[in-house]
């Protein structure tokens, strides 16, 4: 997901659970919660499966308003990250 004002990547949308794409839950994960693994050409998320199961999520037919600052705070608080817009205020 891109922040349309800044053009920066804000979140990666990931799916978890379900079977063959049915019943899976979508998660908006803060971009800075991901770590680039250049050796294996992938991003990793260091979160326990149990923690991810309880993460705030949504289904593919009902996406949250990702521009809502209270929603963004909830997501960043859950993953223990800071928004890049918070960093620019320092």
Q: Any idea what the CATH number is for the domain that residue 78 is in? A: 2.30.30
- pLDDT at residue 24 in the model: 79
Bridge partners for 22 per DSSP: 19
Domain that holds residue 48: 11-83
Q: Are 32 and 84 in contact (CB under 8 A)?
A: yes
Alpha helices in 1-90 (DSSP H): 49-53, 69-79, 84-87
Longest Cα–Cα distance in the chain? 44
Asked whether residue 35 is assigned to any structural domain, the reply reads: yes
pLDDT at 78 over 50: yes
Tell me if 71 is assigned to some domain: yes
Q: DSSP state, 22? A: B
Mean pLDDT of the chain: 84
CB proximity list for 35: less than 8 A, separation 6 or greater: 43, 44, 45, 46
| pTM for the predicted model, two decimal places | 0.78
């Amino acid at each position: 997901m891109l922040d349309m004002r800044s053009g920066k990547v804000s979140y990666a949308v990931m799916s978890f659970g379900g079977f063959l794409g049915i019943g899976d839950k979508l998660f908006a994960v803060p971009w800075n919660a991901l770590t680039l693994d250049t050796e294996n050409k992938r991003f990793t998320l260091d979160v326990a499966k149990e923690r991810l199961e309880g993460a705030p999520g949504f289904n593919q037919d009902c996406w949250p308003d990702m521009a809502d600052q209270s929603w963004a705070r909830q997501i960043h608080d859950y993953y223990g990250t800071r928004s890049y817009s918070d960093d620019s205020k320092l």
